Structure 1
Amino acid sequence: MIQQVGKIMLYVEDQEKSKEFWVEKVGFSVVEDQTQDSIRWIEITPTQEAQTHFVLHNKTIIAELEPELILGTPSLLFFTQNIEELYTEFKEKGITVGELVSTPTGRGFNFSDPEDQYFAVVEEQT
């Protein structure tokens, strides 16, 4: 039986630029930044308590090592407790954001990383 989602792999063109985006702009923390046999992985997390972490992998290297892998960006939905505050913060930090909208699951918006990969965030319903 699967208990939880542990790590989500994000395959990126520029690991350092992606790390900078997720840490400095979005507010994630680095759990681990390792290189072994010329393969670097950067594990990040939104909070120390989060059960799911992200691993930033170099897309080109992984494609060479595992050509059968699908390296597209997963569709990710994040939660926040104050959507307006986060929306304003992202805009002030220069993050590309979509319109703040109301949906059946709550208010939310999308945003993109430096590689034009889009993600969504909604206000957690309490």
Structure 2
Amino acid sequence: MIENLAGVMLYVDDQEESVEFWRDSLGFTVVSEEELPEGFKAVEIAPYADAETRITIFDKAFIKKHSPELSLDTPSLMFKTDDIESLHEEMKNKRITVGEMTDMGGGKVFNFADREENYFAVMETH
């Protein structure tokens, strides 16, 4: 029986820059770094250290070489926040690409892009 979603794999062109974006621009925590063959590594990040769901960032070059059957497409991720307007403004002030805020079935939502132009979304929680 599946209990929950433990993590998401994010494949990027520039792992160091991606980790920097999530850590420095969005305040995520680097939970762990695992050494992989040939000098590659897997970097696990989360909004906070004991978050239930984590994102593991891999270099696409590693995935292409060691798991060529995997899709390198960016997953569609939806994050939650209890203060969406402040988060939206904070991201704009940090010069993060953000979309307009919209109302989706009673809650506000906006999207944002990382430095590789992968888009993610944030929804308001009540």
What TM-score, normalized by structure 1, do the two folds share? 0.95
Give the distance between the partners of 2:106 and 2:33, measured in 1 at CA.
35
DSSP 3-state at the match of 1:89: helix
Unaligned runs of 5+ in 1: none
Cα distance in 2 between the residues matched to 1:6 and 1:90 = 26
- 2:48 is matched with 47
* Percent identical residues: 45
Matched ranges for 1:13-28 at <5 A = 13-28=13-28
Moved more, 48-57 or 30-39: 30-39
**C-alpha spacing 1:50/1:94, structure 2 compared with 1 (3 Å):** same
Look up the match of 2:113. Answer: 112
Q: Any idea what the Cα deviations from partners look like across 1:60-94, whole Å, max 9, x if unmatched? A: 22111111111111111000000000000000111
Equivalent residue for 1:31?
Answer: 31
Question: How many pairs does the alignment contain?
Answer: 125
**Corresponding residue for 2:81?**
80
Amino acid paired to 1:120:
A
Q: Output the CA distance in 1 between the equivalents of 2:104 and 2:16.
A: 34
The alignment's C-alpha RMSD in Å is 1.0
| Letter matched to residue 89 of structure 2 | T
The alpha carbon displacement at 1:36 in A equals: 2.9
Q: Which runs of 5+ in 2 are unaligned?
A: none
